[in-house]
Amino acid sequence: MMEWYTYLLKIGELSLKKGNRAGFERILRQNLVTLLRGSKASVTVTNGRFYVRTPSEGAGQVEDALDRLMGITGWARTKAVEKTPCAVRGACIEVARELAERGIKSFKVEARRTDKRFPLDSYGIRCDAGQAIREAVPALAVDVHTPQAIIEVEIRERAYIYAMEQKGRRGLPSGTAGRGLLLLSGGIDSPAAGYMMLSRGMALDAVYFHAYPYTAEEARQKVIRIAEILGSYSLGIRLFTVGFTAVQMRIKERAPLPWTTVLLRMAMMECAEELALRRHCKCLITGESLSQVASQTAENISCAQSRVSLPVFRPLIGMDKEQIIRVAESIGTYETSILPYEDCCVIFSPPHPILRGDSGEAGELYEKLELSELIVDALNNSAVDRCGFPAVLTPLAGSSRYHPGLTGQAGTLPPPEGDRPGQIRWEEEI
């Protein structure tokens, strides 16, 4: 006989959304259904509680989806049984046996009863189940103060019994806060910044400025890998690779050396804003952290954003490197970020960069570069990769369209049939 598992999901912050709660829950449900597409699992929502039911062989996919889903505080595999004291007792004993097999030594029972017709109240359920477990599983001792495991009993539409609740990713469901454009380098910081915005419900597009042949194709592949990881938390990310060599060469030719980094940032911002507008993104996102490097002083940050009017979000601004690394490790981007391929900024960085640029002076220098046309050209020739989309949504053909412009060499990934480099139809979903 096929065995079925039921998972129960806990939503935290969403439950505080009052009148907007239904909208948030609808998106959460859609996201979950998308992640589970192709499996035999079903999602039900009853009285604000989310449940996933799956045949046992689909448990891996369900648990992976729940591990990635934004907007839940926790989840647990439960036993769903009839609402009778006898069935509840039996399920509690089964759960307790599983705990004992995992080496757990102490427990307590917690109980909640939303269906008041159940013959025992919460206190009665705790005593009844606790007593039954003690008799049936002597390896487990009751400890009401510091138990190693808590066995939860919830009497709702059915009786649900579980232990070992897993932590969820918290935050808000992906897509509830619109879409932002992440400036994604191959470094440690910008992926962490992207994740923090994802966790606030923002869907992401990402842009990577590539300086081929000064930066290797491997550097781009590294960014794609990072975008794949970020995308896996948010139903996918479109990564735009913009060839920025011509822009960087122009800066190198015309600008005083100490100013090159600040001016490059300004150009990136201008280009990113144009892309954001084409893609209906509401903001730009960077991985800047105050005073981490010369380009991230308050003055230089304000130079960088002086040419754009979209809001620029910098979720890492008050964090130190250690804290940022912890985020990067916890989301799985750190290992890839520390691979040794140089970012374009490193290659062009001056030995003595200006520390506190004046935005008036920056503006004048920037005007002299006459970058507008180069920037639009670069954008029009950009490539797009779909990264981290759930498997069933990912087209089978490779999706890259990148062809490094300067040398005329083809990129390492072949463009899919019918696509030509630069043929991005901005207004359509891509």
Binding site for Mg ion (CB under 5 A): 185, 187, 343
DSSP 259-300: GHHHHHHHHHHHHHHHHHHHTT---EE----TTSSGGGSHHH
Closest residue to Mg ion, based on beta-carbon distance: 187
Query: For residues 118 and 313, which CB has a smaller minimum distance to ligand ATP in the complex?
Result: 313
Quick one: 176 or 333, whose CB is closer to Mg ion? 333
Beta carbon of residue 343, minimum distance to ligand ATP (angstroms, whole number): 5
Residue 333 binds which entry of ligand ATP, Mg ion, none, CB below 5-8 Å type-dependent: none
The residue ranges that bind ligand ATP (CB under 6 A) are 183-185, 187-190, 207-209, 268, 286-288, 292-293, 295-296, 343-345
Residue 188 interacts, among ligand ATP, Mg ion, none and using kind-specific CB cut-offs from 5 to 8 Å, with ligand ATP
CB of 235 to ligand ATP, least distance (A): 22
Task: Pick one of ligand ATP, Mg ion, none as the site partner of residue 234 (Cβ within 5 to 8 A by kind).
Answer: none
Mark out the alpha helices in 296-382 (DSSP H runs): 298-304, 321-331, 334-337, 344-348, 359-369, 372-380
When CB distances to ligand ATP are compared, the closest residue is 187
For residues 25 and 14, is the Cβ–Cβ distance under 8 A? yes
Shortest reach from residue 294's CB to Mg ion, in Å: 12
Here the tokens at position 282 are 């509401």
In the complex with Mg ion, which residue's Cβ is closer, 292 or 302? Answer: 292
Which residues lie closer than 8 Å to 71 by C-beta, 6 or more apart? 11, 13, 14, 24, 28, 31, 168, 169, 170, 171, 172, 173, 174, 176, 201
Q: Which is nearer to ligand ATP, 76 or 226 (CB)?
A: 226
In whole angstroms, how close is the CB of 151 to ligand ATP at the nearest point? 44
Q: Which does 54 bind (CB under 5 to 8 A by kind): ligand ATP, Mg ion, none?
A: none
Q: Is 348 helix (H, G, I), strand (E, B) or coil?
A: helix
Taking the complex as a whole, how short is the minimal distance between the CB of residue 324 and Mg ion, in angstroms? Answer: 12
- Determine the 3-state secondary structure of 148 from DSSP: coil
* Residue 151 or 193 with smaller CB distance to ligand ATP: 193
CA–CA distance, 183 with 187 (Å, rounded to integer): 11
Residue closer to Mg ion, measured from CB, 68 or 314: 314
344 binds, options Mg ion, ligand ATP, none, Cβ within 5 to 8 A by partner type: ligand ATP
Gyration radius of the chain's alpha carbons? 26
According to DSSP, the β-strands at 106-113 and 149-155 are parallel
Q: In this structure, how many other beta carbons lie within 10 angstroms of the beta carbon of residue 311? A: 11
Q: Which residue lies nearer to ligand ATP by CB, 15 or 323?
A: 323
Among Mg ion, ligand ATP, none, partner that 209 touches (CB below 5 to 8 angstroms by kind) = ligand ATP
Element (DSSP H or E) covering residue 24: helix 21-36
Q: How far is the CB of 405 from Mg ion (least distance, A)?
A: 22
Closest distance of CB 74 from ligand ATP, Å: 30
Nearer to Mg ion, 126 or 210 (CB): 210
Smaller CB separation from ligand ATP, 130 or 287? 287
Contact 71, 171 (CB under 8 A): yes
What is the rounded CA–CA span in Å between residue 97 and residue 287? 47
292 contact, one of Mg ion, ligand ATP, none, CB 5-8 Å limit per kind: ligand ATP
Place of tokens 């050209």: 377
Q: Cβ of residue 313: shortest distance to ligand ATP, in angstroms?
A: 10
Q: Is 101 in contact with 139 (CB distance < 8 Å)?
A: no
Which of 14, 373, 316, 6 is CA-nearest to residue 187?
A: 316
Nearest distance from residue 363's CB to ligand ATP, in Å? 19
Tokens 């994740």 belong to residue: 195
